[in-house]
Structure 1
Amino acid sequence: MPASLIDPADLATIEEQLGRLPRGLIRVAWRCADGHPGVVVTTPRLPDGTPFPTTYYLTCPKAVAGCSTLEAQGVMAEMTRRLSWDAELAARYAAAHEAYLADRRTLGEVAEIDGVSAGGMPTRVKCLHVLVAHALAAGPGVNPLGDEAVELLREFPFGECLGAR
């Protein structure tokens, strides 16, 4: 398992953001415009041995709240429907799935979750939080539906966290 590169001040902030002690943290992958951690990278196997497929974990409370609102508004279902008829989008989303797996493999191999990314990739959308975390950590152009969700979040209080991204 890779060693944690989390600064103690960031760890305290992340614990406050989550309302619990975070597990399996490696590093901060993206920061809000004000410098606070917004996305962290986690180990593919937690310290207690549990396989954990969520490599990129959204910690910014404004982003988490915004994603939950978008999910409640039916954005996931609409995105999943688009994957069924938009071949180009489906191909780009499948590529995002492969990129996610490649990133996780650099952190370690976990047979139980080999080939399983997160957020419903590559065929559906089941968690905007994961897609947004991936889009923010990887940068624009890697996860098309994560990028779309990030743009939708600009209209929420999270928009101020995005800065110039």
Structure 2
Amino acid sequence: MKMDSRVFCKKKVSGFFPEDGAIFMSNRSTLKECFERSLFGLPDTFSGFVKNVKAGMILFLFEFEERKLYGVFKAITDGGMNIVPHAYASSGKQYPSQVKFTTILHCDPLFEDEFCDVIRDNYFSTYKFNFGLCKDQKVLCGFSIQENMKFHTLFIRREREKESGIFRL
């Protein structure tokens, strides 16, 4: 399902600051650590952005190598510097701009083509976008993930019913 953020946001959204939500980034090697530590991190060049993330804000995680969006998460701390010193050291890079989070909805990730229209105004090149979300983008990203989860749940239920010989429409 594709949705256009222009329909839902009254002003053109650039995503420079996290108005109502934020997308953090990871790669394959840092994805696991993000979830193990319940910690999102970005390079220090994003410290201004991360310091605007407040406890209670809705967050998502974009794994940029496979181009998948994970969610839905909620910040449990304000964004800051070195909340967990030496986090991500195994990656050989530093991500000191950090925020702790908790999972509020666990479901299958979305591929970029399933959510890109929601954040269309945030794109500044073909594959790069700003991380801030307005209220409507936050809601629509969450809605897209929930719809994906409902479809997946329905598919699994139908497969189990077929296997057991009980099938309902």
Output the TM-score relative to the length of structure 2. Answer: 0.27
- Relative contact order, CA 8 A, sep 6+: which one is greater? 2
Q: Rg: which structure is higher?
A: 2
Which protein is richer in strand relative to its size?
2
Which protein is richer in helix relative to its size?
1
